[in-house]
Structure 1
């Protein structure tokens, strides 16, 4: 393997013209991705399949279709305008509300506004009794109207909070007239505020929420962070590189490779339509920059060393590629495996991120192995050795060498500690439990996040779920048993403190005057307005719904609640065998799939770890070295998992991504150390001396890349997006602890368990003859 790779890599160094052509071809492909990705994707789309139309006469209609009635919906709104005030049911408050609604409805892009005045009449005699009375009503009449509104099943806890201080305006848009995203959020709020200012005696405050404001807030923040943190991250990387290298030419060359890799990746992934993934736009470029910069640093450290020793640019590049090129290839392979394991996840965003990372790592490695040697042969490479041995790490590495001396004198103790601590931390990390909150996708302090929290407190949550009730043909749709079953479900939900304001036909019938048995109450359904009757009841389909609110407390909090509800539904089903009860809705779906986060993490980490172990054992031709590498690679992940446990964090989708990405990055240092150790074992007789020389040989690059990686990820810690902060903190902590594991635990494990008899006769890398360079110490 060494010999084959050396020949291929040195061939690239010896043929700069071919490498230049390859770079231009790759650049052209990426440019197509930036300019015409849709046309390229269309080339690979299969021809549409023309389906044969079925004969309508042969279709069997199971049940009669419901009549053409538009039922009332308490959830079907593009944007919800949340109004807070203590003065809704005052003369001036009613005037202001009606003026606000009238002004909003007059906007050309607003299709409708559903609010208290639009709630259907529950008077069975058809007499109009408005929920919001005339503004000329007396104070006593206004207070009575407030109490009646809160008691109304479609108002209290649905459109008006139980304390009467929070009111909802459900707005739907005509998208043909929407010119700006701001019209759907701040535009509405500004219109409402302008109208409210005309009524100085009332104090209204406004917020917007709903799926449109939430989506726009996430996208707006994502786009802002995409540019902001890439610029900051790249700037931090270059700054740290200048400080560490103490030579501008070397920094420029090293920076060119990851820049080219990111350019290629962001163009190519557009062929697969992955560019709108939130992780791809913000995290992926910084991540690939750091991965490419890491390999570039290892390569540049060796090339600078040989240039300072007197080799020409060509020979220094050849020698550098021979010495660390295979290690860079292995790190890229294992990193791609780590990232690629994300493709096994069930979450589409995570899968796309995994695919994009694999593409990016491959293209970034190609960029490193081609751009850096090529640039070293140009005028840029003439002075790359300037500043060699003057960097901060180079000058102080001798002091750090005390660490390796201490480790090698206590190998048994330190190796045992490494194994023991890793096992303990893994056990602690195993106590992590999955969870998910919708607010995590929003920047903290944003109006959308604040409104979501306010809806939890005022109305029991913004999100709705439901219990779907169906019955077979043995039960008539107007049978009293329907109402009996629904009443039992309603009683079941009322017992749960986390379930907010259940509503069904039971609540609506209960608001009608009079009392009676279910037989009498069911007959009153025909007296209700069709839009109200069919909001929760569709007799033609033998179906009814019981809807309820869910708070954004973390879906794991609802696990026991949903479990008890399902157990209760099973008991009710035993009493009503002709019925079927189904707990459904977005919150229920997220709860059912919550365990999948753990499965995805176990699948991703497990498959990646096994494949990486096999690759390392094969590459180093030693099963023992493959086993030894497990500890320094699992230790940083266990440290990060323990940090999440002690800080009260949950296992989330972003954690799955971070853990898997960190495994791919953490193994890089291990590979570089092991590669150098195997090479030194061929040159010296003593294993301790081989470990010491490997430490001093790669220590500079390991410490330098760790500092750069941590500095790069630290820039994202200041993001206002929680997921991005968690990703950055986990990455920085993992990479830092990986350095400790590779410089402390790995040498001890090698000294204790890597036997000399395990070293095969590997072909030593071909050495280029030293040719003095004009102005070097050798030529002098």
Structure 2
């Protein structure tokens, strides 16, 4: 098959060039259609029961993740002109298409039992106040202040705008945010007001925008850094440039395929382009090294291309297949996001394979006859020869200690695996941004004024349908649960219908079930559904929590469940804790573990494919340790150091594993070629020649990829920086494993065969 492919490349150059250029145009058109998404809910869309419950819950109760929070600050306490301007802005904001509800100091209300109606705390006409500070005093002193909206110094206030639920689900938030920014930009500077948008929706919008902005920039910088490195290592400008064409083409093909297939770009699939660039570049570097070897020996164009393809095409295909297995193993996940990632990765790896075994040889076939390129290909590169000899001698030294190398490797793998398992995971909504990011600092200040925006939702459902939810026994149960949780968790704020009933009691007003029911009827519709839901048969307790790692949230949920289990709920029953925060804490753990388990299965399954491909069970067994140890080193460090495993970390492990497998396959492929060439005369003395041949390519691949992916350190997103650091660490460890472990372990497995050949 390889021979036919080489023949087609050499004979049908123009036809293949037209095909490649046509695919490029189609890919560019497809890439322009890619949607970038990062909805907090979409990350957890799945067939898990927790997501089904969350979906039902969002249909009945308003969610805090559909709110835009605006922090308004002034250097001095708010004056009349500023408050008048703010009042108008609150009204104008409510008129923005997609805004469902607004809450501010101007919408705060008190319930008057005499008139049986709610009245605004602040008069609608601020001119009614001789001193406008009196209006702010009324806000601060009102016993009906459930969620504070004003700081003690009267220099900061928050505006909360709830976005229509369907606009959140349809990802139509950007136009709404743009309108708010335009609205606030119209405020004259002399007004002395500063506006900062924050909250879940603006934060997610910021993440999406940065993904879009950094996707091309970081890949471009990474490609440039990798190119500069390859130019230095290849000692040739043209050879480095030509080697980089196929990897770039592979990325464009992948993005085009994702666009035409309707696969979105999100926090997971954002790493696909890096995976494809890394895998394709690794294969192309190996192919270029092989091509130059034939060229230096005086072979012509067709002979060099054919020799390169016969030596490297097979391991490239095997690398693609093994990495596809690792990625395809994720398709069984219950998470839609992970399944999309799996499909995008498999499609991208197909594009990578096409670029490596068709586009790369075609590039050199077309350019070979250009004199400077031919001279560059035939030139001897002395640094490569130096490294070749060095690692040949090193391998010879290791072979004499092959049993020690095997023993130390096995013990190290066992210790690392024990440290890595059981996998501990972590997730935070705001982990994609630095803690000192302005939008997070604004959120921190807004939450200091009122309360955390994230919530664990506890629903006490009426067991029997038909009865009145707001009854004395039920309200007493709600009060008991509410106050018990407040006592058990004094650092958290809890809001429920009991909060309003307690205010009535403290004010000496009627707080019977009938009084509470009458008061409920006077509340705005959104406020009613927030407390008892659309169907009116379940009390909701909003247990507010700050953004924190998911293990802490799960621990908190366990504590809440323990209190609920001990409570006498009477005619009510407690549903499983839900809400976006609870969903994220539980499902992030399950999803990250699915990623890890699939990866570990692939890590041990890929050696089986290697053994079948080469027809040598020893090859597959020898490949286990060099592939697993680098990943286990990083994984164990994450567990021991307390970083734990994040989404991006699990993806980094899978990508780096692909590179580790790639290097291992190329070493085994060269071993197999040398052994077949020498036949029964192949002995221990010939094994170092394998490393002498491939060591320069392995080092070049690792350096190019590591320096290229170091562009991640320029990102504004800490998860991207973390991703780059993990990849570089595993790339380096994978190189060391292949240089120092693979051949000694294989020599132990092949010792009888090699010894009999020597005798």
TM-score by length of 2: 0.85
Give the counterpart of 2:246 among 230, 236, 257.
Answer: 257
Give SS of 1:311's match.
coil
- 1:394 matched to 2:385: yes
- In the alignment, the residues of structure 1 paired with residue 446 and residue 484 of structure 2 have an alpha-carbon distance, to the nearest angstrom, of 23
- In the alignment, the residues of structure 1 paired with residue 665 and residue 420 of structure 2 have an alpha-carbon distance, to the nearest angstrom, of 25
- In the alignment, the residues of structure 1 paired with residue 467 and residue 571 of structure 2 have an alpha-carbon distance, to the nearest angstrom, of 10
Higher mean C-alpha deviation, range 209-218 or range 235-244:
209-218
Instruction: State the Cα distance separating 1:163 from its structure 2 match.
Output: 8.3
Check the 8 A contact 2:140/2:150 in 1, yes or no.
Answer: no
Give SS of 1:116's match.
coil
Q: Deviations over 1:583-606 (max 9, x none)?
A: 221111112223313431343113
Which protein shows a greater Rg?
Answer: 1
- In the alignment, the residues of structure 2 paired with residue 513 and residue 40 of structure 1 have an alpha-carbon distance, to the nearest angstrom, of 56
- In the alignment, the residues of structure 2 paired with residue 407 and residue 589 of structure 1 have an alpha-carbon distance, to the nearest angstrom, of 51
Instruction: State the Cα distance separating 1:356 from its structure 2 match.
Output: 1.6
Instruction: State the Cα distance separating 1:756 from its structure 2 match.
Output: 4.5
Check the 8 A contact 1:236/1:712 in 2, yes or no.
Answer: yes
Instruction: State the Cα distance separating 1:624 from its structure 2 match.
Output: 2.8
Give SS of 1:584's match.
coil
Q: Deviations over 1:514-569 (max 9, x none)?
A: 68999835534314524255541359642221223221011221212111212222
- In the alignment, the residues of structure 2 paired with residue 276 and residue 547 of structure 1 have an alpha-carbon distance, to the nearest angstrom, of 33
Partner residue in 1 for 2:87: 101
Partner residue in 1 for 2:2: 9
- In the alignment, the residues of structure 1 paired with residue 565 and residue 509 of structure 2 have an alpha-carbon distance, to the nearest angstrom, of 25
Instruction: State the Cα distance separating 1:181 from its structure 2 match.
Output: 6.7
> Using a 3 Å threshold, how does the CA distance of structure 1 residues 477 and 349 change in structure 2: closer, same or farther?
closer
Give the counterpart of 2:349 among 340, 361, 364.
Answer: 361
Higher mean C-alpha deviation, range 344-353 or range 314-323:
344-353
Partner residue in 2 for 1:210: 199
Partner residue in 2 for 1:321: 309
Partner residue in 1 for 2:713: 717
Check the 8 A contact 2:13/2:366 in 1, yes or no.
Answer: no
Instruction: State the Cα distance separating 1:397 from its structure 2 match.
Output: 2.8
- In the alignment, the residues of structure 1 paired with residue 251 and residue 364 of structure 2 have an alpha-carbon distance, to the nearest angstrom, of 20
- In the alignment, the residues of structure 2 paired with residue 586 and residue 179 of structure 1 have an alpha-carbon distance, to the nearest angstrom, of 21
> Using a 3 Å threshold, how does the CA distance of structure 1 residues 759 and 457 change in structure 2: closer, same or farther?
farther
> Using a 3 Å threshold, how does the CA distance of structure 1 residues 297 and 648 change in structure 2: closer, same or farther?
same
- In the alignment, the residues of structure 2 paired with residue 630 and residue 448 of structure 1 have an alpha-carbon distance, to the nearest angstrom, of 46
Partner residue in 2 for 1:461: 452
Partner residue in 2 for 1:412: 403
Check the 8 A contact 1:460/1:501 in 2, yes or no.
Answer: yes
Higher mean C-alpha deviation, range 329-338 or range 310-319:
329-338
Give SS of 1:80's match.
strand
Instruction: State the Cα distance separating 1:479 from its structure 2 match.
Output: 1.9
- 1:276 matched to 2:265: yes
Give SS of 1:118's match.
coil
Partner residue in 2 for 1:753: 749
* Structure that is richer in helix per residue: 2
Higher mean C-alpha deviation, range 402-411 or range 320-329:
402-411
- In the alignment, the residues of structure 1 paired with residue 273 and residue 133 of structure 2 have an alpha-carbon distance, to the nearest angstrom, of 64
- 1:170 matched to 2:160: yes
Q: How does 1:137-176 map to 2 (within 5 A)?
A: 145-149=138-142, 151-156=143-148, 159-160=149-150, 166-171=156-161
Partner residue in 2 for 1:47: none
Q: How does 1:692-711 map to 2 (within 5 A)?
A: 692-711=688-707
Give SS of 1:435's match.
coil
Higher mean C-alpha deviation, range 385-394 or range 298-307:
385-394
Give SS of 1:546's match.
strand
- In the alignment, the residues of structure 1 paired with residue 74 and residue 558 of structure 2 have an alpha-carbon distance, to the nearest angstrom, of 37
Provide the alpha-carbon RMSD of the alignment. 3.6
Partner residue in 1 for 2:486: 494
> Using a 3 Å threshold, how does the CA distance of structure 1 residues 217 and 76 change in structure 2: closer, same or farther?
closer
Instruction: State the Cα distance separating 1:171 from its structure 2 match.
Output: 3.0
Q: Deviations over 1:235-286 (max 9, x none)?
A: 11211111111123322332222222222222112122124334445x3333
- In the alignment, the residues of structure 2 paired with residue 506 and residue 109 of structure 1 have an alpha-carbon distance, to the nearest angstrom, of 33
Q: Deviations over 1:25-56 (max 9, x none)?
A: 46535644543799999xxxxxxxxxxxxxxx
Q: Deviations over 1:672-698 (max 9, x none)?
A: 111111222331635422320110011
Give SS of 2:243's match.
helix
Q: Deviations over 1:382-414 (max 9, x none)?
A: 534526332533344323433223212222222
Q: Deviations over 1:266-316 (max 9, x none)?
A: 2112122124334445x3333322211211111111111111111110001
Check the 8 A contact 1:246/1:391 in 2, yes or no.
Answer: no
Give the counterpart of 2:215 among 202, 226, 230.
Answer: 226
Structure 2 unaligned spans of 5+:
36-59
- In the alignment, the residues of structure 2 paired with residue 427 and residue 351 of structure 1 have an alpha-carbon distance, to the nearest angstrom, of 29
Q: Deviations over 1:603-637 (max 9, x none)?
A: 31133124312201111223232122110001110
Partner residue in 1 for 2:431: 440
Partner residue in 1 for 2:22: 28
Check the 8 A contact 1:286/1:712 in 2, yes or no.
Answer: no
Q: How does 1:67-216 map to 2 (within 5 A)?
A: 75=64, 78-84=67-73, 92-93=78-79, 95-106=81-92, 109=96, 113-126=102-115, 130-132=120-122, 136=129, 145-149=138-142, 151-156=143-148, 159-160=149-150, 166-171=156-161, 183-184=178-179, 186-191=181-186, 194=188, 197-198=190-191, 205-216=194-205
Instruction: State the Cα distance separating 1:488 from its structure 2 match.
Output: 1.9
Give the counterpart of 1:552 among 547, 572, 579.
Answer: 547
Instruction: State the Cα distance separating 1:222 from its structure 2 match.
Output: 1.2
Partner residue in 2 for 1:765: none
Check the 8 A contact 1:666/1:738 in 2, yes or no.
Answer: yes
Partner residue in 1 for 2:340: 352
Partner residue in 1 for 2:495: 503
Partner residue in 2 for 1:4: none
Give SS of 1:83's match.
strand
- In the alignment, the residues of structure 2 paired with residue 728 and residue 735 of structure 1 have an alpha-carbon distance, to the nearest angstrom, of 10
Q: How does 1:554-569 map to 2 (within 5 A)?
A: 554-569=549-564
- In the alignment, the residues of structure 2 paired with residue 72 and residue 590 of structure 1 have an alpha-carbon distance, to the nearest angstrom, of 18
Partner residue in 2 for 1:571: 566
- In the alignment, the residues of structure 1 paired with residue 725 and residue 400 of structure 2 have an alpha-carbon distance, to the nearest angstrom, of 34
TM-score by length of 1: 0.83
> Using a 3 Å threshold, how does the CA distance of structure 1 residues 736 and 667 change in structure 2: closer, same or farther?
same
- In the alignment, the residues of structure 2 paired with residue 498 and residue 380 of structure 1 have an alpha-carbon distance, to the nearest angstrom, of 75
> Using a 3 Å threshold, how does the CA distance of structure 1 residues 118 and 299 change in structure 2: closer, same or farther?
same
Check the 8 A contact 2:103/2:161 in 1, yes or no.
Answer: yes
Instruction: State the Cα distance separating 1:480 from its structure 2 match.
Output: 0.6
Q: How does 1:265-664 map to 2 (within 5 A)?
A: 265-281=254-270, 283-380=271-368, 383-384=373-374, 386=376, 388-390=379-381, 392-430=383-421, 432-442=423-433, 445-471=436-462, 472-473=464-465, 475-497=467-489, 500-512=492-504, 520-528=512-520, 529-531=522-524, 535-537=530-532, 541-572=536-567, 574-664=568-658
Give SS of 1:304's match.
helix
- In the alignment, the residues of structure 2 paired with residue 755 and residue 588 of structure 1 have an alpha-carbon distance, to the nearest angstrom, of 56
Check the 8 A contact 1:12/1:19 in 2, yes or no.
Answer: no
Structure 1 unaligned spans of 5+:
1-7, 42-70, 762-780
- In the alignment, the residues of structure 2 paired with residue 39 and residue 399 of structure 1 have an alpha-carbon distance, to the nearest angstrom, of 50
- In the alignment, the residues of structure 1 paired with residue 745 and residue 683 of structure 2 have an alpha-carbon distance, to the nearest angstrom, of 12
Higher mean C-alpha deviation, range 719-728 or range 393-402:
393-402
Check the 8 A contact 1:621/1:760 in 2, yes or no.
Answer: no
Instruction: State the Cα distance separating 1:436 from its structure 2 match.
Output: 0.8
Give SS of 1:464's match.
strand
> Using a 3 Å threshold, how does the CA distance of structure 1 residues 249 and 705 change in structure 2: closer, same or farther?
same
Higher mean C-alpha deviation, range 530-539 or range 397-406:
530-539
Check the 8 A contact 2:623/2:742 in 1, yes or no.
Answer: yes
